[in-house]
Homo-oligomer: A and B are copies of this chain.
């Protein structure tokens, strides 16, 4: 059932914004990376984090590759004066730490109760040396992340608050594990969304209220959205506000 809705969502054609795979950080699905990580199962460890706990920090030596098993992880940067940028969210199946330079470029923090698997990176790289197809997958992973980041760049560069929120909702809904029927899980808090979209928490609330007023969504509670008009949401997200 969940799969159904996701496939429908993915099948909807896009003009330009979705020329990338819907899954951001190819994990078990569609790429060999997950299956190669499986080989490292015996030297991996399973870790649990409470909301707001730190998994790794920006600048740490990138010694591990992490795969999210449950919950939601935010990748973010903290600036001295208190500003924060949430670069991305990771969900079950997503992987962090592949293809990094020497250090992690972000903090990784649990956005809610989270379980991750940690794999030693050197072992992984060693495997990657061997298999040609594997290397190709790693490159594709990086290329996909780059595209995903550029898509987000567009959102921050060109869109209004309401459009940004619609983009965010659409992107979340493209992940089959956050959408159940028309009901969308919001694993992260409003502040996380705000810092991801370059807005304030108040503006997020108002944008949600506005979408509700327009009949595009329902808000049964703070961590759930019901998508009542997905085509209209996609239209907003893609900058064709109704034309």
A150 within 8 A of B: yes
Contact call B81/A240, Cβ cutoff below 8 A: yes
Interface string of A117-143 (1 = CB under 8 A from B): 000000000000100100100111011
Complex CA–CA separation, A101 to B144 (angstroms) = 8
Q: Evaluate whether A149 and B149 lie within 8 angstroms (CB atoms) in the complex, with A58-B16, A80-B239, A142-B142 already known.
A: yes
Complex CA–CA separation, A83 to B100 (angstroms) = 33
A158 within 8 A of B: yes
Contact call A85/B132, Cβ cutoff below 8 A: no
Contact call B140/A139, Cβ cutoff below 8 A: no
**Chain A, 218-243, CB within 8 A of any chain B CB:** 239-241, 243
A153 within 8 A of B: yes
CB distance from A160 to the nearest CB of B (A): 11
Complex CA–CA separation, A101 to B239 (angstroms) = 25
Q: Evaluate whether A105 and B150 lie within 8 angstroms (CB atoms) in the complex, with A19-B59, A239-B81 already known.
A: yes
Contact call B240/A80, Cβ cutoff below 8 A: yes
Contact call B99/A139, Cβ cutoff below 8 A: yes
A145 within 8 A of B: yes
CB distance from A239 to the nearest CB of B (A): 5
Complex CA–CA separation, A117 to B160 (angstroms) = 38
Partner of A147, one of B84, B105, B240, B243: B105
CB distance from A150 to the nearest CB of B (A): 6
CB distance from A124 to the nearest CB of B (A): 13
Complex CA–CA separation, A101 to B219 (angstroms) = 38
CB distance from A200 to the nearest CB of B (A): 12
Q: Which residues of B contact A42 (CB under 8 A)?
A: none
Contact call A146/B145, Cβ cutoff below 8 A: yes
Complex CA–CA separation, A240 to B77 (angstroms) = 15
Complex CA–CA separation, A87 to B100 (angstroms) = 21
Q: Evaluate whether A239 and B157 lie within 8 angstroms (CB atoms) in the complex, with A100-B143, A146-B149 already known.
A: no
* Nearest 4 pairs of A and B residues by beta carbon: A156-B156, A157-B198, A142-B142, A85-B157
